[in-house]
């Protein structure tokens, strides 16, 4: 490998590593904030946050890798122009098209890795995410009552908060609960709580030494009850009361299906998912090659405008792929057209921009000065 190719490949990989790690950290930060928020609201368990973050990161890796290669190639070429290294390469007999080989040397392995992720790893990760959430949804409401946090059950009809126990042998300390019935709004307080299993398999949250206040909304009816022991039977939520809508469940199920099963499914949703999984590796290659003419800037004009345009082009590419997936799933675009249309448009754009950068403009004829 020549000095030119070694230096280019080394710099692209170095930049790609920095960009990839940065994007991954940003993604994990946003993801953890969202998952911790769901855990605080009782939508998921705190014990599954790490697992969901891990599997969600696997599903995000294809897009992160494609963007990382695009930014790495773009910044490498821009830096060579800005620091006048391209002048040296041009003087050595090289041109902008000689960048295609080193860029492909970096982009092709990444595209193959993205293909493995989208076709194999991502569906498996989506299945794990779905199993995590389904297991939590099928857990009894009683097991979700955790000391130190508010837990919402039955779609918000019951809200519990339990403190840490203060006496030996207690499972929970002070407890406060709000229960909405068809006619009454109840607020219940107790000094302690414990879990009780009945022989028939029912499980109860048994409150000890407390008070119950019943109010009838819109009326002046009020009831007050003191108790030594009060039990709640908390049952598992049915699938009909799940927090996720039917459409969201269908979409998650389609994402989790193995690729071979999708090819045997003659539906628009399956074809849209196939198109998405095939498009990401192709997009990684296209974006890497498109970054070559986009990064060829005039160092005297600054780089902010060109980098902004390059970022918008990459964002437009990914959004058009996502838009095409939506059109295919709704039957508004044929699969045979949608699977290649966006890639063909941006490949043609890349070829046109390369031709603009490589063509040699004819010199302007000298102006003729009239002699009096």
Over its length of 372 residues, how does the chain's per-residue pLDDT go in tens digits? 577 778 889 999 999 999 999 999 999 999 999 888 887 766 677 778 888 899 999 999 999 999 999 999 998 988 888 887 887 877 877 888 888 889 999 999 999 999 999 999 999 999 998 888 777 665 545 455 566 667 776 666 778 787 877 776 666 778 888 888 878 888 888 888 777 766 665 667 788 888 888 888 878 788 888 888 888 765 544 443 444 456 666 777 888 888 888 888 888 888 999 999 999 999 999 999 999 988 877 666 555 556 677 788 888 999 999 999 989 988 888 988 989 999 999 999 999 988 887 765 555 666 665 555
Q: Return all residues near 69 (Cβ < 8 A) that are at least 6 apart.
A: 12, 16, 106, 107, 110, 284, 287, 288
Q: Per-domain residue ranges for the chain?
A: 3-138+243-358, 141-235
Q: Shortest CA distance to 35 belongs to which of 13, 52, 21, 58?
A: 52
**210-219 long-range Cβ contacts below 8 angstroms, 24+ apart:** 210/175, 212/186, 212/187, 212/188, 213/186, 213/187, 213/188, 214/184, 214/185, 214/186, 215/184, 215/185, 215/186, 215/187, 216/183, 216/184, 216/185, 217/185
Whether the pTM exceeds 0.85: the reply is no
245 contacts 226 by C-beta, under 8 angstroms: no
């Amino acid at each position: 490998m020549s000095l030119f190719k070694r230096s280019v490949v080394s710099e692209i990989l170095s930049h790609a590593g920095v960009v990839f790690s940065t994007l991954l950290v940003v993604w994990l930060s946003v993801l953890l904030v969202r998952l911790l928020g769901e855990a605080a609201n009782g939508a998921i368990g705190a014990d599954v946050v790490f697992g969901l973050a891990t599997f969600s990161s696997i599903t995000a890796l294809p897009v992160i890798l494609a963007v990382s290669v695009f930014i790495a190639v773009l910044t490498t070429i821009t830096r060579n122009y800005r620091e006048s290294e391209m002048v040296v390469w041009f003087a050595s007999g090289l041109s902008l098209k000689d960048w295609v080989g080193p860029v492909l040397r970096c982009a092709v392995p990444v595209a193959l890795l993205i293909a493995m992720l989208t076709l194999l790893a991502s569906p498996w990760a989506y299945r794990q995410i779905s199993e995590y959430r389904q297991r939590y949804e099928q857990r009894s409401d009683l097991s979700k009552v955790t000391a130190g946090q508010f837990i919402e059950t039955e779609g918000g009809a019951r809200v519990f908060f339990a403190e840490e126990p203060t006496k030996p042998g207690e499972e929970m300390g002070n407890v406060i609960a709000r229960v909405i019935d068809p006619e009454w709004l109840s607020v219940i307080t107790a000094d302690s709580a414990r879990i009780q299993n009945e022989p028939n398999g029912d499980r109860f949250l048994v409150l000890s030494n407390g008070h119950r206040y019943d109010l009838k909304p819109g009326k002046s009816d009020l009831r007050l009850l003191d108790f030594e022991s009060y039990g709640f039977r908390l049952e598992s939520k049915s699938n009909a009361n799940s927090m996720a809508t039917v459409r969201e469940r269908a979409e998650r199920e389609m994402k989790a299906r193995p690729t071979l099963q999708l090819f045997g499914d003659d539906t628009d949703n399956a074809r849209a998912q196939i198109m998405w999984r095939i498009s990401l590796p192709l997009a990684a290659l296209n974006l890497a090659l498109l970054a070559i003419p986009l990064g060829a800037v005039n160092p005297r004009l600054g780089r902010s405008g060109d980098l902004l345009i390059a970022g918008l082009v990459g964002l437009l590419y990914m959004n058009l792929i996502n838009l095409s997936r939506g059109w295919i799933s709704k039957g508004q675009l044929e699969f045979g057209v949608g699977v290649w249309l966006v890639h063909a448009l941006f490949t043609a754009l890349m070829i046109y921009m390369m031709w603009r950068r490589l063509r040699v403009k004819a010199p302007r004829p000298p102006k003729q000065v009239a002699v009096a």
